[in-house]
Structure 1
C-alpha cells in the first residue's frame, strides 16, 4: 500500500535526500512539499526546495510556511548547511511556481481533502508549521494517519548537550506535536547518527552517472566536510531526514520502541530536550514510537535505487 505523505522541511542537505527518496520510491506518494525556517531562513530553504524539485523532476505543490518559531528567537545552522542552506552543489533555477497558499493551509487542505487515516505528515525541520496547522484546524489531528518526525533524541543533543536542533529551534511547537492525540514516530539522533553516507555509498551514487547523481554527490561531499569539521564524523555525514521517508517506504529499515516523550520547555540546562521514558517512570501512557536501530544497507539500497529511478525519468523527459 502506497504511503501518501506531506514532507514539511527546511532544505538542508539531508532534507534534499529525503525529497529525492520520497519522489523516487514507488512505495511513497509525495503529495506536497512545505517549507519552514530552520537550517536557514525561509526564503533560502524555499528556494532550495524548488531547486531540488528542478534537478530531480519533482512536480508537486511547494509552499512556504513559518518564517520563525512560535515564540523564541530564530536559529539557523550555517556552520552545517552553509550560507545558502544547501551549499556545495550548483542550484538550478526553479521550474515550478511557488504555491500561493501558506504551507499551513496546504497541510490542512491536503489532510482535509483526503480520506481520514490516509495522509502521513513528515516534518524534517522545526515543527512550527505542524503546530500552526493543528491550531488553525484542530480536526487534522484525528484525520492524519501518523506524524513521522526527524528530531529529538533519548541520549544526546547536537544544538546543546541535551537538545537536538529541530526541537531546540521551536520547542513549544514540538511540545504541541508530541502532546497531540495522534500517532508519532520520533526519528532522533540515536537512530540518524547510524545513517552515515560512507565513501562506498557516495561511489555507488556517483556511478549512476546522471546530473541528479552528480548533484547528490556534491550535496554529500559538502555535508561530509562540515560534519567532519564541526562534529568529528570521519566516515561520512549522518543523513538524518532521509530516515523518516525510508521507514515509510519500508518499516523494516529501523526498529522502534514505545515510550512517553515530553519536550522540556523550562529547564535551565535542558531546554528543548526530548525527555524519553521507556520504563513508565512518569506513569504516563506511551505517546511515541522511538526509532532505535537502523538497517543501514537497506536504507542506502532504496536511496540509490530512487536516485537511479529519478535519473532515468528526468533523462527520458529531456530526450
Structure 2
C-alpha cells in the first residue's frame, strides 16, 4: 500500500474579497494541504470587514480554522480599498451566513512567526492581498526567513497594472512590504495579472459550479460561489468588456495542488517604491538584462480549463 502523502501546512493570508473567499474554500476542500490558520489584512475593504468575511466564509462550510486579524494599514503609504470591485461589504452578491465566532486575539504577524518557528522548513504562506502581514513578520523575526518553505503570492504583474497603468492592486497597496518580501531570500512564486487574467470565470465555467448545489443532499457552496463570481463579473464586464471576472487568488492554492497546470519562469523581481507614477510596479527581469540572480518564480501560463475542472471538483466536496 502506498504511503499517504504528507500534508503541506499553509497559512492563508488575505483581504476577502470574492476571490480570496473562493481560495479559502478551495484550500479547505483539498486534502493535500493543512490550513493552519487564516490571517487577514486591509485591502479590498477595511480590516474589520476582511476579518468578518473570512469568518463568514468559514461559517459557510462549518470550518473551525482560527482567524487572526493583522495590519489595518500599509507600512508607509496611504491606504487604498476596492469597494468599487467587491462592493461595500467586500463580499457583495449572494446571501452569506453570519460568523459563528470571533477572530483570535493574537496579531496575524505574530501567528505567522509562531507557526513558522514551530514547523521549520514546512510552512507555505499563501498571501492573496497586500503583503503587509508577511513583511511585518519578517521584520519582527528575521530568523524565520530561512524557515519558510515558500511564499506563493497573488499580486503584481509581468506587464500592465489594474489600479494604475503600472501597478496591480495588491502590490500598490503596500509596495514597501512587497519589496521586503522579494528581498527576504524566501522562495517566492508570483501569480500576477498576466497569469490570473487567463482564468476568467465565464458563464460556461460558473454553470457547473452552481449545479453542485442541485445534487441531492448537497451544500449551498456551489450556489454561493456562483453568486460571488457573478457579482465579481459585473465590474470586469463594465471596465474590460470581459465575459466574467478573473479568479485571481485561488490560483495560489491550485498551484500547490496541481503545479502541472501552470508554467513559471525564474526571474529577478524588484518592486517600485518611488511614490511616482510607476510606484507599485513589479519590475520582472524576464530576459535577465540586469544579470541579477532570480528571486522569484513568475507565473506565465495557466491551463484555465484544467484549473476550473479542479476548482469545481473540489468545491463539490464541501
Q: Could you say which residue in structure 1 is the equivalent of 2:249?
A: 241
- TM-score, length of structure 2 as denominator length: 0.95
- 2-side partners of 1:76 and 1:97: how far apart? 23
Q: Are residues 1:160 and 2:164 paired?
A: yes
Task: Choose 145-154 or 276-285, whichever is displaced more.
Answer: 276-285
* 8 Å Cα contact 1:80-1:230 kept in structure 2: no
- TM-score, length of structure 1 as denominator length: 0.94
Q: Which whole-Å deviations, capped at 9, do the CAs of 1:208-264 have from their partners, x for residues lacking one? A: 11311111111011001121123332x211010010110011111211001000001
- Tell me which of 111, 131, 137 is aligned to 1:106: 111
* 8 Å Cα contact 2:211-2:223 kept in structure 1: no
Q: Are residues 1:302 and 2:310 paired?
A: yes
Q: CA deviation at 1:95?
A: 2.0
Q: Are residues 1:199 and 2:198 paired?
A: no
Q: CA deviation at 1:102?
A: 0.7
Cα RMSD over matched residues?
1.1
Q: Could you say which residue in structure 1 is the equivalent of 2:216?
A: none
Q: Are residues 1:67 and 2:75 paired?
A: no
- 2-side partners of 1:77 and 1:198: how far apart? 22
Secondary structure of 1:22's match? helix
Alignment of 1:16-31 (within 5 A): 16-31=21-36
Q: Which whole-Å deviations, capped at 9, do the CAs of 1:54-86 have from their partners, x for residues lacking one? A: 002222110100001001110000110011111
- 2-side partners of 1:17 and 1:268: how far apart? 33
Q: Could you say which residue in structure 2 is the equivalent of 1:190?
A: 194
Q: Could you say which residue in structure 2 is the equivalent of 1:219?
A: 228
Secondary structure of 1:207's match? helix
Unpaired runs of at least 5, structure 1: 311-319
- Tell me which of 140, 144, 159 is aligned to 1:140: 144
Unpaired runs of at least 5, structure 2: 214-218
- 2-side partners of 1:207 and 1:64: how far apart? 34
* 8 Å Cα contact 2:188-2:296 kept in structure 1: yes
Task: Choose 97-106 or 164-173, whichever is displaced more.
Answer: 97-106
Secondary structure of 1:262's match? strand
Q: Are residues 1:289 and 2:293 paired?
A: no
- 2-side partners of 1:130 and 1:11: how far apart? 16
- 2-side partners of 1:281 and 1:296: how far apart? 30
Q: Are residues 1:14 and 2:22 paired?
A: no
Q: Could you say which residue in structure 1 is the equivalent of 2:185?
A: 181
Secondary structure of 2:316's match? helix
Q: CA deviation at 1:7?
A: 0.5
Q: Which whole-Å deviations, capped at 9, do the CAs of 1:22-41 have from their partners, x for residues lacking one? A: 00011121111000000000
- 2-side partners of 1:103 and 1:81: how far apart? 23
- 2-side partners of 1:143 and 1:127: how far apart? 18
Q: CA deviation at 1:267?
A: 5.8
- Tell me which of 197, 203, 228 is aligned to 2:237: 228
Q: Could you say which residue in structure 2 is the equivalent of 1:95?
A: 100
**What is the total number of aligned residue pairs between the two structures?**
308
- 2-side partners of 1:179 and 1:46: how far apart? 28
Q: CA deviation at 1:180?
A: 0.7
